[in-house]
Amino acid sequence: MISEELFTTLAARKLAGEATAEEQQELDAMLQQHAVLRERYLILQQYFTESAYHNTSDTEQALTRTLSRIHASGNDIPVKRIRFTAVWKWAGVAAAVLLIAGIGFTYRFTTTVKQEALADTAQWLNRQNGKATKAIIELADGSKIWLNADSKLTYPEVFNNNIREVYLEGEAFFDVASNPERPFIIHLAKGNVQVLGTSFNIRAYNNEPIQTSVKTGKVAFIPAYDGSGKKPDTIYITPDEKVIYELKSESIKKEATYAEDDKAWTEGRLVFRNMTLEEISFELERAFGKKVTFMEDAPRHYRLTGNFQNNNLQDIMYYLARSKAFHYDITDSTLVISQ
């Protein structure tokens, strides 16, 4: 017999980040035994992903969307109007707990629910980050994705076939759960990356070279060519290797890298190695959400190196300007650079 109260408690504690190792193991066992609980938990997890990085009003909208999705799938869960208060320490965590424990689930447990039914109702979800915003997403198969600022990930609630597929615009670090029977494919605008189980970083912003570097395991990068008649190559990458695909020239090169630096952004670090100030400005604009403007052309080409850990923009610009003289001015919404 399924314990509704126990499931509610364990799921709430895990989503709030407070579950002990024993509680997580007990919840995992329940999810493995009961497909209906897995479906509900995936929906709650997606709701938490949508709401955890937004303010209270956005959180209410995320809850409304999630309840509507549950209602549309035919689950017997009452859709109620939930009002949020400002006394929560973390709006996203509290909303997740409220969704599980406070709206009065009257879920019917039946023995007729099958995994095939879940596949039929699976939906594709979108997570889109603006500038100065990051997110962590856990997929249905246990894979974990760190999504950088100014990036978008499209992924299914449940993987329902022999291939695990997601779509990326921007930058993300992937820690893919190993499953040799189900390859994992990341579709990019100009190519794709295929793996079985590994950790790696992909940078695929519009109008920039695609970069893929590997921390653990092995990755296959397959470029897409625009009507040139060239046959796509498959380039294999192993730890501390990087592939760079120049979109305009459709040229590819593989070089040594330090994978920890490529994923530094996931840890609040910004690493610049012999980069032009213009290239650095793109990173700063995404990281801090301020529009960068150059008053003259010359500073764009200054080459600089730096490694910053959780520094604010003022500190970063101060140290960069000491290594190569230039002027800068920071306002609430802009960073202006001049000679």
Contacts of 297 (CB under 8 A, 6+ apart): none
Please give the model's pTM, rounded to 2 decimal places.
0.63
Q: How far apart are CA 43 and CA 65, in angstroms?
A: 11
| pLDDT tens readout for residues 160-169 | 878 899 999 9
231 or 309, which is more confident? 309
pLDDT at position 227: 67
pLDDT at position 119: 42
pLDDT band for position 337 (50/70/90)?
very high
pLDDT band for position 123 (50/70/90)?
confident
The arrangement of secondary structure in 124-261, i.e. its CATH architecture, is Sandwich (2.60)
Domain-by-domain residue ranges, the chain?
Answer: 4-121, 124-261, 268-338
pLDDT at position 242: 95
User: Do the domains at 124-261 and 268-338 have one common CATH topology?
Assistant: no
80 or 295, which is more confident? 295
Q: How far apart are CA 306 and CA 270, in angstroms?
A: 8
Tokens describing residue 134: 């990051």
Summarize the confidence of residues 316-339 as an average pLDDT. Answer: 92
Q: How far apart are CA 145 and CA 234, in angstroms?
A: 23
Summarize the confidence of residues 63-78 as an average pLDDT. Answer: 48
- Distances 189 to 124, 206, 252 between C-alpha atoms, Å: 18, 8, 16
Largest CA distance in the chain: 72
Contacts of 291 (CB under 8 A, 6+ apart): 285, 333, 334, 335
Contact present, 192 and 185 (Cβ < 8 Å): yes
- Has residue 72 got a pLDDT over 70? no
Q: How far apart are CA 206 and CA 149, in angstroms?
A: 13
CATH 3.55.50.30 fits 268-338, yes or no: yes
| pLDDT tens readout for residues 240-273 | 999 999 988 889 999 999 999 999 999 999 999 9
- Buried b / exposed e across 84-100, counting CB within 10 Å, b at 16+? beeeeeebbbbbbbbbb
pLDDT band for position 219 (50/70/90)?
very high
pLDDT at position 228: 62
- Has residue 117 got a pLDDT over 80? no
